[in-house]
Amino acid sequence: MKVGFVGLGIMGKPMSRNLLKAGHELVVYDVVKTAVDEIVAAGAARGESAADVAARSEITITMLPDGPEVEAAVTGPGGVLGGAIAGSIVVDMSSISPLVAQKVAAACAAKGVEFVDAPVSGGEPKAIDGSLAIMVGGKQEVFDKVLPLLQCMGSSATLTGPAGAGNVTKLANQIMVAVNIAGMSEALVLATKAGIDPEVVFNAVKGGLAGSTVLNAKAPMVIGRNFKPGFRIRLHQKDLRNALSAAEAMKVSLPFTSLAQQVLIALMNKGCGDLDHSAIATFIEDMAGVEVKRP
């Protein structure tokens, strides 16, 4: 397929590489020239703008930080809709508010362009190895057309409902991950304060009901004091902000999500916004006066 890719950040760069490895013809654009240079060196063609990328593509993928960036890249001056032809498809893989996804979908429809929102879960490691979980909102027939591309970047792609449903599902995912990390952090801090080796506790519980993918991925990072970002605190805070905004619009109370977001904001104010979200543990550690580590 002739594919456009707009947004070559921590996630977009490896995702675009996987499309190239699968043999797709790729045109790329990012406001950061060095990111474009890197993917062009790997075999992609250079786009001069988001509009230029869309004009040269059957399907244009966007992978951007948040809703305002998606709106600017798709509907703004020099944006995707300035170059996309009727019948082409926009796949937004950013994690944004469902309300913004629906707004962008309506703008695409007015131009005769199809749209699906397809946010991902798995962070940079799974973006690199092509095993992301992809949650999609849109029409069945459009999902069927883009599925081969999604399978180049993820191990699963699930149609969850109409446009916007992908981002609702992603926000649900992010709530579960944040609250899971917070609970894990409290448990490991308690164990360490009691004088028990946290790695022993981790190994003892991971095969039981408390076991989870989050626990397996994040407990070793906390115990090893490795907070190199796979998914940054500031991005997780953004996702929880979007979840709470959507919840407010629907009159849904999310008390634990609110608490997790406050923890993330506190960590950002300490200069920890670019650490991995496993660094939630450091907030709990500070309150307990103990660092989770082996004796």
Burial group, residue 8, by CB count within 10 angstroms (0-12, 13-18, 19+):
buried
Single-letter code of the amino acid located at 33: K
Mean pLDDT across the chain: 97
User: How many CB atoms are closer than 10 A to CB 226?
Assistant: 12
Separation CA 163–CA 283 (nearest Å): 36
Domain of residue 200 covers 168-288
Indicate whether 141 and 195 sit together in one domain: no
pLDDT given at position 251? 97
Residue 120 belongs to some domain of the structure: yes
pLDDT band at 284 (very low <50, low <70, confident <90, very high): very high
Indicate whether 33 and 102 sit together in one domain: yes
Indicate whether 253 and 204 sit together in one domain: yes
Boundary (domain end) residue, out of 118, 146, 163: 163
Residue 45 belongs to some domain of the structure: yes
In this predicted structure, the answer to whether residue 230 has a pLDDT above a threshold of 90 is no
Burial group, residue 91, by CB count within 10 angstroms (0-12, 13-18, 19+):
buried
pLDDT tens track for 152-190 = 999 999 999 999 999 999 999 999 999 999 999 999 999
pLDDT tens track for 93-124 = 999 999 999 999 999 999 999 999 999 998 88
Separation CA 247–CA 277 (nearest Å): 22
In this predicted structure, the answer to whether residue 295 has a pLDDT above a threshold of 90 is no
Indicate whether 112 and 242 sit together in one domain: no
Tokens for 98? 């469902």
Catalytic residue among 170, 228, 270, 293: 170
Boundary (domain end) residue, out of 163, 190, 205: 163
pLDDT given at position 180? 98
Residue 293 belongs to some domain of the structure: no
Mean per-residue pLDDT for 235-259? 96
In this predicted structure, the answer to whether residue 1 has a pLDDT above a threshold of 90 is no
Residue 294 belongs to some domain of the structure: no
Indicate whether 39 and 116 sit together in one domain: yes
pLDDT given at position 123? 86
Report how far apart, in Å, the C-alpha atoms of 154 and of each of 107, 220, 233, 285 are.
27, 24, 23, 35
In this predicted structure, the answer to whether residue 32 has a pLDDT above a threshold of 90 is yes
**Annotation marks residue 270 as catalytic:** no
Report how far apart, in Å, the C-alpha atoms of 162 and of each of 146, 168, 242 are.
15, 11, 18
pTM of the predicted structure, to 2 decimals:
0.90
Could you tell me the sign of the dihedral formed by the alpha carbons of 154, 155, 159, 160, in that order?
negative
pLDDT tens track for 33-71 = 999 999 999 999 999 999 999 999 999 999 999 999 999
What per-residue string of b and e applies to 144-171 under the rule 16 or more CB within 10 Å gives b? ebbeebbebbbeebebbeebbbbbbbbb
CATH code (residue 112)? 3.40.50.720
H helix or E strand, kind and range, residue 37: helix 33-41
Residue 180 belongs to some domain of the structure: yes
H helix or E strand, kind and range, residue 253: none
In this predicted structure, the answer to whether residue 146 has a pLDDT above a threshold of 90 is yes
